[in-house]
Amino acid sequence: MTHPAALMEILPVAIAAVAAACRVTRHVQNRQQHIQRHSKDDMSPVTIADYAAQAVIARHLADAFGSLTMVGEEDAATLREAGHGLLRDEVATAARMAWPAASVDDVLDAIDLGNHDASGARYWTLDPIDGTKGFLRGGQYAVSLALIEHGKVMLGVLGCPNLSQNYSRSFDDPDARGCLFHAVRGGGAWSVPADQPTMAARRLDASREEDITAMRVCESVEAAHSRIDDTGRIVEYLAARGTPARLDSQCKYAVVARGQAEAYLRLPTRRDYVEKIWDHAAGMIIAEEAGAVVTDVLGKPLDFSRGAGLSANRGVICATRAFHGRIRQAINALELFQE
Ligand SMILES: [Mg+2]
């Protein structure tokens, strides 16, 4: 395992990489209408931003550390196909926001640095844009990077370019600065402005609410991502009347970590659905380091030792220490997810 002091040296590099990618994704999101007007269907702005963000982060980490083992959500196979020249050019143009000297080939090669299969003892995992629908809607999305060692998440950086530091601001109202969250195992969870990540960090603390009727639950905007009706049954069983928070992406883990909600439920929609490591690794360590508890719906810790999927787990419950057990009790009493 990397020594905690060494992790603290890796952290600023990971923060700078994610902050650079956030500049790229924000730029593409701002140009979204222009891109849609001037390009074909396969050139969705989210596709361009996804590839460009992965290239920028992979290049940044590989330059800093000399080599890189990374399990990224994207690879450049499609981009390399004949007929995708326009898309390649748009991706390279977007990447140059943070990597001015990049050629098209540099960008494709950097994307493919994220091709690892998650079989080793130590690797990075990246979702360059988590929350595709949120990105397209101008809502919440996340750039999510984590370091996994021997099946344990040791470091996580979560860029949330549209999330405000002002808790009263609607999640549907994109912020101009955004937030970037980071955590190293055992070192607490921290927040900085995404556009100025070297500013003094604020420590995150999960909510200390003890009255279950006040519980605020985070859930997906997209019904396909979580059983919203099961969430409703759990909330009703617990008589929780807090205002629910609906937003896309792993930003939900950060919303729990910073005490803006008490729980994030990702309830299985299908028996055979396997969650991906990059959809949870960074968010999980940030929530845990802020004092929340993260397990699957049956109460088992998330097992990151099985490759790119969380195949030993079903769904996710991220909740404050006071409420996690109550949610598990509700699931048992309602006989949910027993099959
Ligand atoms: Mg993605």
Residues 44 and 178 in one domain: yes
Residues 179 and 265 in one domain: no
> What's the CA gap between 137 and 312, in Å, rounded?
33
Residues 218 and 256 in one domain: yes
Taking the centre of ligand 1 as the mean of its atom positions, its distance from the CA of residue 130, in whole angstroms, is: 4
Residues 305 and 158 in one domain: no
Q: Are 182 and 153 in contact (CB under 8 A)?
A: no
- Candidates 25, 47, 50, 230; catalytic one: 50
Place of tokens 């008589």: 239
pLDDT of residue 225: 67
If DSSP codes are grouped into helix, strand and coil, which group holds residue 180?
A: strand
pLDDT of residue 2: 84
Residues 125 and 267 in one domain: no
User: Residue 40 is which amino acid?
Assistant: K
Residue 243 has pLDDT above 60, yes or no: yes
Strands (E), the chain: 70-72, 122-130, 142-149, 152-160, 179-184, 189-193, 202-203, 217-219, 245-246, 263-266, 292-295, 316-320
Buried b (16+ CB within 10 A) or exposed e, 222-239: eeebbbbebbeebbebbe
Residues 229 and 273 in one domain: yes
Please give the average per-residue pLDDT across 99-113, as a whole number.
Answer: 97
- Candidates 132, 231, 295, 320; catalytic one: 132
50 as an active site residue: the answer is: yes
Q: CB 38: neighbour CB atoms within 10 A?
A: 11
Least confident of 4-8, 116-120, 224-228, 239-243: 224-228
Determine the structural domain holding residue 228 and report its residue range. 212-333
Percent over 90 (pLDDT), the chain: 82
Residues 56 and 172 in one domain: yes
Residues 34 and 91 in one domain: yes
- Measured at the alpha carbon of residue 183, what is the angle toward residues 181 and 185, in degrees to the nearest 5? 165
**Mean pLDDT, rounded, of the chain:** 93
Taking the centre of ligand 1 as the mean of its atom positions, its distance from the CA of residue 196, in whole angstroms, is: 24
Q: What is the pLDDT of residues 272-305, one digit of tens each?
A: 899 999 999 999 999 999 999 999 999 999 999 9
Q: How confident is the model at residue 38 (pLDDT cuts 50, 70, 90)?
A: low
Domain of residue 272, CATH code: 3.40.190.80
Please give the average per-residue pLDDT across 69-96, as a whole number.
Answer: 93
338 occurs within a structural domain: no
30 occurs within a structural domain: yes
325 occurs within a structural domain: yes
Taking the centre of ligand 1 as the mean of its atom positions, its distance from the CA of residue 238, in whole angstroms, is: 33
- Name the domain count of the chain: 2
Taking the centre of ligand 1 as the mean of its atom positions, its distance from the CA of residue 55, in whole angstroms, is: 13
Please give the average per-residue pLDDT across 186-214, as a whole number.
Answer: 97
339 occurs within a structural domain: no
21 occurs within a structural domain: yes
Domain of residue 171, CATH code: 3.30.540.10
Least confident of 83-87, 126-130, 206-210, 288-292: 83-87
If DSSP codes are grouped into helix, strand and coil, which group holds residue 208?
A: coil
Residues 161 and 38 in one domain: yes
